[in-house]
Structure 1
Amino acid sequence: MKPILIVEDEPSMLMGLKDNLEFEGYQVDVAEDGGIGLDKILGNEYSLVLLDVMLPKISGFDICKQVRKKGISTPIILLTARGEEIDKVLGLEFGADDYITKPFSLRELLARIRAVLRRTENRIESKTDSSVEIGNLSINFSSFEGFVDQQEVKMSHKEVEILNYLWDNKNTIVSRDDLLDHIWGTEYQPTSRTIDNFILKLRHKIEVDPNHAKIILTVHGVGYRLVV
C-alpha cells in the first residue's frame, strides 16, 4: 500500500479524507497542524502528501518550501479554500506538484492523486544519477542539487523538473503545452505565463547573459529549445 500523509487542521475534513483514502487502499498517516506535519514529512517516507495551506504553527506554503530546500522530492498536493491565481503560482513555485481548491469532490481528488503518483513514477525512471553541465550550471536531477562555479544555487522543485524535461528533449522544440502536461498533467493547468517565469529563473542560473539567451531559446508562438 502506498503511504499518504494528510496535513489538515479541520477534524471533519481530516477524518473524511483518511477514511476514504483507506477505503481506496492507501496507508494513511495524519497531522493536525503544520509543525507536526513538517516533522512527519522530514522523518518518514511517503508516496504523497496532501497539505492544507492554512495551518496552525506553520503554513502549507512554508512547509513546502522547507521540504524542497532539504531536497525531499515527495509529491505534494496543496489543499486550500483560496482559489486566487497568485496562490496557485506561489504553491507551484514553492514546489507543489498540484493544487486543488476546496470544496472538491472525492472523485476529483482521487484522480489528482493517481495522476501525480503516475507522473512521479515516470519521472523517477527517467532521472540520471550523475551531474550534467548546462551552461553555467552543474545539475543533478536525482538529488535536485545545482552548482554554479562550485557554489550551490537555490533550485526549486519545479525548476529542476522543467530543466530535466528540456534536457531529455535537448536540441528539439518543446511546446509550452508539452511542459504543462508533463510537469503538471492535464488535471491541473497553470497558465503559460507560469512556464515563462520558470524559464526566466532558469536562464539566470544557466546563461552568461540571461537577456540574450544562447542555451534555452524561445521559439516564438510555440515554446522552447535547449541547445547543447
Structure 2
Amino acid sequence: MKKKILVVDDEPSISMLIEFNLKLAGFDVRSVYDGEAVFDMLKPFRPDLIVLDLMLPKMDGIQVCRELRKQNNAVPIVMLTALQDVTDKIAGLDNGADDYMTKPFSPQELISRIQAIFRRTQSLPGAAENVVHEIGRLAVFAEQRDVHVDGKPVELTPKEFELLLFLCRHRGKVLSRQQLLHGVWDYHFLGDTRIVDVHISHLRDKIERNARTPEYIMTVRNVGYKLTGPSAADSSSPA
C-alpha cells in the first residue's frame, strides 16, 4: 500500500512541484493550501507524513505542529521554510516537527528525507532488540518503545525515542552530532546538526531531574554527546 503524504503550501508552483515528484516516487499525495485545511484532511485521508510550510494563511506551520502534538497526533512532519534564521527552524522543531528544509531545496533531497523517516518508523525490532535498558532511574523498553523514569511512563515523540534508544545502544561512547544525525535520522549527506541539539534538549527536559545539570545525557565539548548514568543500577536484560 502506498504511503500517504499531505503537502501543505500556499504557493501553487511549489505545491505542484512537490506533489509531482512525490507521486513519481510512488507516494499517494494530497495538497492543501492553508493550515486549517490540514485538520479537515486528517480523518478522510489519514496521512502517514505531512510536508508543512512554515508560512501559511489562517494557521501557520508552527500552530499546526503545536495543535497536532496537543492532540497526541504523532504523524511525522517535515517543515519547509523560506527563512534562513535558525531560530525559525528551531521553533518548528520545538513545536513537534521531525525535520526541516530550507527553500529552495532539491525535490530529491526531500524524497530522501521522507524515505529515511519511513525507514526509521517502519523498522521492527528483532529478537536482539527485545531488551530493557535500565540506567539508574531510567528504563527504556526497546520492543515496546516505552520509557519510564522512576517507574512512571514518559511521553516521547517517535524521533525522541529513537534518539534515546540509539544512545542506549552506545552507552558510554562519545557520539558526534554527525554520527547521531546519520544513525537516528538516517541521513547520508552533510546536514544541519542543530536538529540533534534540539532533540537532545527535549530529551533532557523529559528524563532529567534538572536539564541544566544532566545525569544521563552528557555534552562532550566540541564533539557531541554520550549517555551515562549510575553504573550500579545499570543493566540491559531481556524484556
Q: TM-score, normalised by structure 2?
A: 0.72
Query: How many Å separate the matches in 1 of 2:176 and 2:226?
Result: 9
Does residue 202 (structure 1) correspond to residue 203 (structure 2)? The answer is: yes
Query: How many Å separate the matches in 1 of 2:66 and 2:47?
Result: 17
Identity %, equivalent residues: 38
1:35-58 CA-partner distances (Å, limit 9, x unpaired): 121343466543321111111222
Structure 1 window deviating more from structure 2 (72-81 vs 41-50): it is 41-50
1:168-192 CA-partner distances (Å, limit 9, x unpaired): 3234333322112223324462345
Match for 1:17: what amino acid? I
Q: Which runs of 5+ in 2 are unaligned?
A: 229-233, 235-239
Q: Assess if the C-alpha contact under 8 Å between 2:140 and 2:165 holds in 1.
A: no
Does residue 165 (structure 1) correspond to residue 166 (structure 2)? The answer is: yes
Displacement of 1:151:
6.3
Does residue 101 (structure 1) correspond to residue 119 (structure 2)? The answer is: no
Q: Relative to 1, partners in 2 of residues 1:67 and 1:145: Cα closer, same or farther, differing over 3 Å? A: farther
Residue 67 of structure 2 aligns to a residue whose secondary structure is helix
Displacement of 1:150:
6.6
Structure 1 window deviating more from structure 2 (165-174 vs 81-90): it is 165-174
Backbone CA RMSD of aligned residues: 3.5
Q: Assess if the C-alpha contact under 8 Å between 1:75 and 1:120 holds in 2.
A: no
Query: How many Å separate the matches in 2 of 1:64 and 1:213?
Result: 28
Residues 4-153 of structure 1: pairs in structure 2 closer than 5 A = 4-41=5-42, 44-122=45-123, 125=125, 134-137=135-138, 148=149
Query: How many Å separate the matches in 2 of 1:34 and 1:129?
Result: 40
Displacement of 1:64:
1.9
Q: Assess if the C-alpha contact under 8 Å between 1:95 and 1:157 holds in 2.
A: no
Structure 2 partner of 1:226? 227
Match for 2:16: what amino acid? M
Q: Assess if the C-alpha contact under 8 Å between 2:81 and 2:89 holds in 1.
A: no
1:97-122 CA-partner distances (Å, limit 9, x unpaired): 32122222333333333333334334
Displacement of 1:196:
4.3
Q: Which runs of 5+ in 1 are unaligned?
A: none
Query: How many Å separate the matches in 2 of 1:94 and 1:142?
Result: 27
Displacement of 1:6:
0.8
Structure 2 partner of 1:189? 191
Q: Relative to 1, partners in 2 of residues 1:130 and 1:95: Cα closer, same or farther, differing over 3 Å? A: farther
Residue 78 of structure 2 aligns to a residue whose secondary structure is strand
